[in-house]
Amino acid sequence: MSEYAPNCRQCEHFQVTWDNNTPLGCKKFGFKTRQLPSVEVLATSGRQCSYFEEKGGMLRFQRPVVLPDHCTFSITG
């Protein structure tokens, strides 16, 4: 078993709440927290989140990035 929790931001059940004190939550487990819900589950139960379901398809807010013809992009190290 991995000691790392799955990334909730890629889960169908992840939610961002309006509450400043507990801004993140899990719709499936029904709780809010300050840290990623999967980290909370791992810390309290010692087990990976059993409800993690990866989001399918492209996220609503993500769009393909297309640069105009006159622009270039390079990565230098």
68 or 24: which carries more pLDDT confidence? 24
Arithmetic mean of pLDDT, 37-59: 86
Percent of the chain with pLDDT over 90: 49
Question: Which helix (H) or strand (E) covers residue 16, if one does?
Answer: strand 14-16
Specify which residues 16 forms β-bridges with.
Answer: 24
**Residue 33, pLDDT above cutoff 90:** yes
Enter the pTM of the model: 0.66
Structure tokens at 38: 């999967």
Residue 29 to residue 72: CA distance in whole angstroms = 45
